[in-house]
Structure 1
């Protein structure tokens, strides 16, 4: 049995953390769906920036849209929606077969809106309506303003991928925003079945402390954070509050492991996939990690629902001088800043291509 199928049988979804036009038009994504059990896809500004930078597959669309008067964010979102609508259609059979639990793709709102809840909600509603696909998540960061927007977007019926979460506390705040949105929908007589996932970033923890901790603790902090968060996730699903919502027709806000490509060249290239196997979760991974796992990955058991040795591990990190709460806040701020930089780079790249293509008259 394929190792990717073993993960599926365990109850974990495997999503691809990448999108390019070549993946779609060349049949590669469709092959990953059928051969490797990929059941969803995530994107972000950095991914799109690399896609446009390293390919001429977008040139015709950029040229046509620029000639039609499109520029800036408006031009980019048209490009992105062309890709993500096509990807969403590839995953529609999975979405239908799982009753909306799986088969999702994700599009991020402009990172420039990270501190503006009202504009984030407006953008989320508009982007989801333009896509006209039920299996499109709108990614909203789990910042203080973002969480306000998450609740409002869920209440408005927009499926949300809450991104840039870095701790158990971040996850619980995202879960609270989701449940409040669902509770408000029920109170208003609306359908409570609005999709949502909570994306916890893993590898950035280990990168942040790699020069601060002894070798025995290298590449273990992200997994410890995941363990503690998974325990909170299982406990929340068992609460009376959640069970009441589930009985009314709400879907679980599944926990998603993000940033699970190995950054340390001395570590296994399938480290986080093998360590984070768990029922009712998602792992979204870069393409090279997917292929490595399909080639030589192994399932080494599943995460313990009680958190396992997370507390003991985190105590060791504290003794090494790592302030978990402070670092979680810093990592989230750095994540927002990194996506904002990628966003500016992306818009500048698209603008430069549009200018060059218009000047040369390429068709």
Structure 2
């Protein structure tokens, strides 16, 4: 039993943080399901930008859709939904076997809507309806406007992956939005079972402070923030408010660890997987990290439900001048800006490929 299978036995889901048409057509994604116990995947604008820019798997589809008058966001969402519905069908057996707990794929709304709650709600509903798959999450960022959109989308019955969460407080805001949406559904006589996960970004913390802290604190901030958030998650699941919803038939909004590829070349490439092993959570990881962990990862003790030494570590960071509350706000803002830039880059590469292919020229990129 390799380390990925051990995590699965522990009760943690491993999802792939990637999607390309090549992964689907080569059978690689299917192999990951079988060999590495991968039970879902996530996507974002950066992933699709790299996939469409760096390969020619999409060229034929882009050429046909552009010739039919499609462009920009409309053309992109056609491509993304084609990939993600195929992936959702691969994971459908896992989704059904776990009664909807696992087996999900995720599609993000346009990052340009991060500060527009009403438009986010509309796009989330439209995309989920177009996908017509019960195991497809719509990703909404946990920004202030996003929190409003999350509650409204859950109330409308749209499964949501809350993205760009960086702290316990941001997680609790997302969890509150989820529970309010479920409570409103119960009050309205609707089915309280609507899927959701809350995604905490981990490695970006360590990148942000790598030049500001002593060597003894390197690569420890993201894990401490995750431990603190995990404690809040476990406490919420035994709270009277959540028990009331669970008794009515609601499913927990599971905690998901995101941004868990090691960024520091001097650190172990399995650092975050080994530190974040925790039941009833998800870890979504790049292919490189998945393969490394399957090869030489080690599953040690579960993450402590009480947060372990998180507060001691965070106190040491505070003494080193790190204001984690202010940094969480900054990281969320920068994350939204980064996805918006990737979105703009994505629209540009689709426009460029559409124009090039219309002239009968190759669109660039490699089959990979």
Give the TM-score of the pair, scaled to structure 2.
0.98
In the TM superposition, residue 359 of structure 1 has moved relative to its aligned partner by 1.5
Aligned residue-pair number: 363
Gap change, CA 1:357 and 1:101, over 3 Å in 2: same
Rounded to whole Å, the distance in 2 between the matches of 1:239 and 1:188 is 23
Alpha-carbon RMSD: 0.9
CA deviations over 1:300-338 (Å, ceiling 9, x no partner): 211000011000000000000000000000000000000
Aligned to 1:298: 298
Aligned to 1:32: 32
Aligned to 1:333: 333
1:95 aligned counterpart, secondary structure = helix
Aligned to 2:223: 223
Find runs of 4+ consecutive structure 1 residues off by over 4 angstroms: none
Aligned to 1:144: 144
In the TM superposition, residue 3 of structure 1 has moved relative to its aligned partner by 1.1
Aligned to 2:190: 190
Rounded to whole Å, the distance in 2 between the matches of 1:148 and 1:362 is 44
Q: Is the 8 Å Cα contact of residues 199 and 257 (structure 1) preserved in structure 2?
A: yes
Rounded to whole Å, the distance in 1 between the matches of 2:158 and 2:289 is 30
Structure 2 alignment gaps of length 5 or more: 364-368
Aligned to 2:237: 237
Rounded to whole Å, the distance in 2 between the matches of 1:237 and 1:361 is 56
In the TM superposition, residue 362 of structure 1 has moved relative to its aligned partner by 7.1
Q: Which moved more, 1:90-99 or 1:352-361?
A: 352-361
**Alignment map for 1:280-295 (pairs within 5 Å):** 280-295=280-295
Q: Is the 8 Å Cα contact of residues 41 and 104 (structure 1) preserved in structure 2?
A: yes
Aligned to 2:247: 247
**Alignment map for 1:4-19 (pairs within 5 Å):** 4-19=4-19
Rounded to whole Å, the distance in 2 between the matches of 1:327 and 1:3 is 33
Rounded to whole Å, the distance in 2 between the matches of 1:35 and 1:362 is 35
Aligned to 1:166: 166
In the TM superposition, residue 299 of structure 1 has moved relative to its aligned partner by 0.6
Aligned to 1:115: 115
Q: Is the 8 Å Cα contact of residues 3 and 297 (structure 1) preserved in structure 2?
A: yes
Gap change, CA 1:362 and 1:259, over 3 Å in 2: closer
Rounded to whole Å, the distance in 1 between the matches of 2:361 and 2:217 is 56
Aligned to 2:366: none
Aligned to 2:65: 65
CA deviations over 1:67-120 (Å, ceiling 9, x no partner): 000001000000000000000000000000000000000000000000000000
Aligned to 2:267: 267
Q: Is the 8 Å Cα contact of residues 63 and 362 (structure 1) preserved in structure 2?
A: no
Rounded to whole Å, the distance in 1 between the matches of 2:259 and 2:287 is 12
In the TM superposition, residue 361 of structure 1 has moved relative to its aligned partner by 6.8
Rounded to whole Å, the distance in 1 between the matches of 2:304 and 2:21 is 39
Give the TM-score of the pair, scaled to structure 1.
0.99
Rounded to whole Å, the distance in 1 between the matches of 2:259 and 2:27 is 25
Q: Is the 8 Å Cα contact of residues 192 and 249 (structure 2) preserved in structure 1?
A: yes
Rounded to whole Å, the distance in 2 between the matches of 1:45 and 1:4 is 26
2:87 aligned counterpart, secondary structure = helix
Aligned to 1:56: 56
Rounded to whole Å, the distance in 2 between the matches of 1:137 and 1:123 is 13
Q: Is the 8 Å Cα contact of residues 11 and 280 (structure 1) preserved in structure 2?
A: yes
1:360 aligned counterpart, secondary structure = coil
Aligned to 2:20: 20
Q: Is the 8 Å Cα contact of residues 2 and 295 (structure 2) preserved in structure 1?
A: no
Gap change, CA 1:25 and 1:313, over 3 Å in 2: same
